[in-house]
């Protein structure tokens, strides 16, 4: 560079100098900052700026570099990126051409997972209301997994031992790597159109988060969400929850646990059947017993004619003995009454009066008892009855005297 004499640069020349200096001196760098002004162009290139409290630098990440990016770049995201300074003459701008970018503080994959999870959650893919009930029993199970993996082995073993009535259809897919998500999603759809399947199990054995990544992909989550058939997600061997777990109708931690759901259903159904059988026996026995009791009751009520006759005779006997008693009683009463009457009668008898010294005179001619002197005249023949014996007399004189007449009878 000639500094001592005046050199007049053209704009292009000086830009070229700056470009050379910047690109040479600064070159490739790691930069930490916050994303702002993010734009994804239709060409696939990303344009944004990185800033901190004091400065801002423009950045571009071309399609080839951002193609494999798992998470979404967005304003406010703190990132660490690697790139090189580039001066673009036509607009007089310098910017960082970014080759690699990572969210600060956590892995890109983790961020991608969180971002997608948030998005699907907002769309309602994890809604409990969308989750389907498993059928009463699962007789045909479709398994989406690798036919060479541990998962299929575990599931088949448990089903064979515990629920040998269950048919299994395996749709073998790759369970990790680039094509896995596509294959898994497609297999879920295929089971739905294939028919005859009661349940789909989406499964793979344990592995690192990266190994299980396909089950975090959006297309897998959507295929499970859109499945008409209920889906059980059984991915991994630990508690690493994948998006397919969150979308599935049921999720379990291991492939074995998925198979156990079916075995448990079978066993609880068998137990239920047993108790239904018992209830059936009980109800039938009850019905018969109840009828028996009614029959016994009715038999009691339904007597033979002979029994009825006996009963009537007995009744009659009872009546008779009652009657006899009553009769006797009546007779006794009558006897008592009559003897008292006889006594009274005796006391009233004229003969009894005679015994007390009175006498009774009758006109011999008419036999009429003489009560009044008007009935008699001297010369009438009278018969007089005494207490003991009787005599006849002739009337000498009729004494017409009131006071003595009453005594005249005496």
The number of beta carbons lying within 10 Å of the beta carbon of residue 13 is 11
Residue closer to other proteins by CB (options 229, 385) is: 229
- At CA 191, angle to CA 188 and CA 196, rounded to 5? 150
Residue closer to other proteins by CB (options 202, 246) is: 202
Rounded CA-CA distance 22/227 in Å is: 56
Minimum separation from the CB atom of position 185 to other proteins (A): 14
**Could you list the residues that contact other proteins (CB under 8 A)?**
135-137, 139-140, 142, 147, 152-153, 156-157, 159-160, 163-172, 190-191, 194, 196, 266, 269-270, 272-273, 276-277, 279-280, 282-284, 286-288, 290-291
> Residue 68's closest CA among 104, 27, 109, 22?
109
Residue closer to other proteins by CB (options 127, 279) is: 279
Minimum separation from the CB atom of position 215 to other proteins (A): 20
Beta strands 381-385 and 390-394 are: antiparallel
Give me the sign of the Cα torsion angle 34, 37, 40, 43: negative
Residue closer to other proteins by CB (options 276, 327) is: 276
Minimum separation from the CB atom of position 293 to other proteins (A): 12
Minimum separation from the CB atom of position 272 to other proteins (A): 8
Show Cβ contacts of residue 31 under 8 Å, excluding neighbours closer than 6 positions: 50, 57, 80, 81, 82, 83, 96
Residue closer to other proteins by CB (options 61, 234) is: 234
- At CA 45, angle to CA 43 and CA 47, rounded to 5? 130
Residue closer to other proteins by CB (options 161, 303) is: 161
Minimum separation from the CB atom of position 176 to other proteins (A): 20
Minimum separation from the CB atom of position 136 to other proteins (A): 5
Are 239 and 220 a contacting pair, CB within 8 Å? no
């Amino acid at each position: 560079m000639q500094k001592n004499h005046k050199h007049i640069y053209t704009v292009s020349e000086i830009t070229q100098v700056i470009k050379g200096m910047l690109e040479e001196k600064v070159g490739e760098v790691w930069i930490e900052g916050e994303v702002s002004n993010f734009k994804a162009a239709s060409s696939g290139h990303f344009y944004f700026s990185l800033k901190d409290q004091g400065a801002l630098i423009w950045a571009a990440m071309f399609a080839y570099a951002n193609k494999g990016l798992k998470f979404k770049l967005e304003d406010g995201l703190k990132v660490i990126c690697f790139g090189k300074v580039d001066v673009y003459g036509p607009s007089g701008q310098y910017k960082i051409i970014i080759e690699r970018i990572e969210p600060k503080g956590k892995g890109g994959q983790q961020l991608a997972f969180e971002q997608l999870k948030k998005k699907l959650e907002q769309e309602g893919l994890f809604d409990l209301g969308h989750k389907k009930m498993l059928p009463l029993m699962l007789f045909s199970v479709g398994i989406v997994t690798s036919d060479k993996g541990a998962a299929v082995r575990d599931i088949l073993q448990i089903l064979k031992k515990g629920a040998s009535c269950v048919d299994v259809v395996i749709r073998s897919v790759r369970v990790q790597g680039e094509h896995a998500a596509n294959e898994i999603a497609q297999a879920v759809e295929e089971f739905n159109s294939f028919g005859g399947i009661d349940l789909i199990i989406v499964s793979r054995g344990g592995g690192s988060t990266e190994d299980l990544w396909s089950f975090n992909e959006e297309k897998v989550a959507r295929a499970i969400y859109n499945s008409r058939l209920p889906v059980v997600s059984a991915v991994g061997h630990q508690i690493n929850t994948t998006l397919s777990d969150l979308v599935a109708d049921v999720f379990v931690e291991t492939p074995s646990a998925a198979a156990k759901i079916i075995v448990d259903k079978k066993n609880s159904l068998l137990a239920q059947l047993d108790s239904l059988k018992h209830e059936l026996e009980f109800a039938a026995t009850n019905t018969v017993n109840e009828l028996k009791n009614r029959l016994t009751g009715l038999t009691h009520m339904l007597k033979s004619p002979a029994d009825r006759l006996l009963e009537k005779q007995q009744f009659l006997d009872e009546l008779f003995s009652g009657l006899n008693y009553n009769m006797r009683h009546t007779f006794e009463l009558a006897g008592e009454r009559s003897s008292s009457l006889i006594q009274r009668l005796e006391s009233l008898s004229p003969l009894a009066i005679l015994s007390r010294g009175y006498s009774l005179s009758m006109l011999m001619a008419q036999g009429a008892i003489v009560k009044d002197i008007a009935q008699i005249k001297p010369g009438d023949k009278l018969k007089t009855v005494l207490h003991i014996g009787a005599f006849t007399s002739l009337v000498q004189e009729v004494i017409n005297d009131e006071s003595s007449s009453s005594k005249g009878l005496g």
